[in-house]
Amino acid sequence: LSDCLACDSCMTSEEGARVFQQNQKELFRVLNLNKKCDTSKHKVLAVSICPQSLPYFAAKFNLSVNDAAKRLCGFLKSLGVHYVFDTTIAADFSILESQREFVQRYQRRNQEEHALPMFASACPG
């Protein structure tokens, strides 16, 4: 989040409230609660790792991107996180969908006044 431009363009107020709840303090609060209670009462913790963050960790710790992913996953699981997901496939699907939409719009550019331009974005953070 330190690279986020805080433009608020990527989320609604409801999503903003959810992101606000997902912070380091809340994560450690739940991890500590899970350590103190019976496993049947544990809150399941899932972490998603975006593809942009892995090269940062790799460079910071002088690792390959694959080693950085493995170590980050291992670290999070050692803290008590139940699931760690790599969102690279979701980013790939997003690119493919944008490509498909652009081709459709380009093919309709002479029939529809507003087919182009097509605007797309991804959070630079």
**The amino acid at 113:** E
**Interior CA angle at 43 toward 73 and 36, to 5°?**
95
Q: How many domains is the chain partitioned into structurally?
A: 1
Question: Looking at the domain assignment, is residue 92 inside a domain?
Answer: yes
Helices 53-60 and 65-79 meet at what angle, rounded to 10?
Answer: 100
Span 17-34, pLDDT tens digits: 666 666 778 888 888 888
Model confidence band, residue 49 (pLDDT cutoffs 50, 70, 90): confident
Which domain does 100 fall in, by range?
35-108
- Spatial CB neighbours of 14, under 8 Å, sequence gap ≥ 6: none
Cis peptide before 117 (omega within 30 of 0): yes
* Cα(58)–Cα(62) distance, integer angstroms: 6
Residue 55 within any structural domain of the chain:
yes
- Tell me the average pLDDT across 68-91: 90
Mean of pLDDT over the chain: 81
pLDDT digits (tens, 9 = 90+) for 81-115: 999 998 888 888 888 998 999 999 999 999 998 88
Asked, for residue 118, whether it belongs to a domain, the answer is no
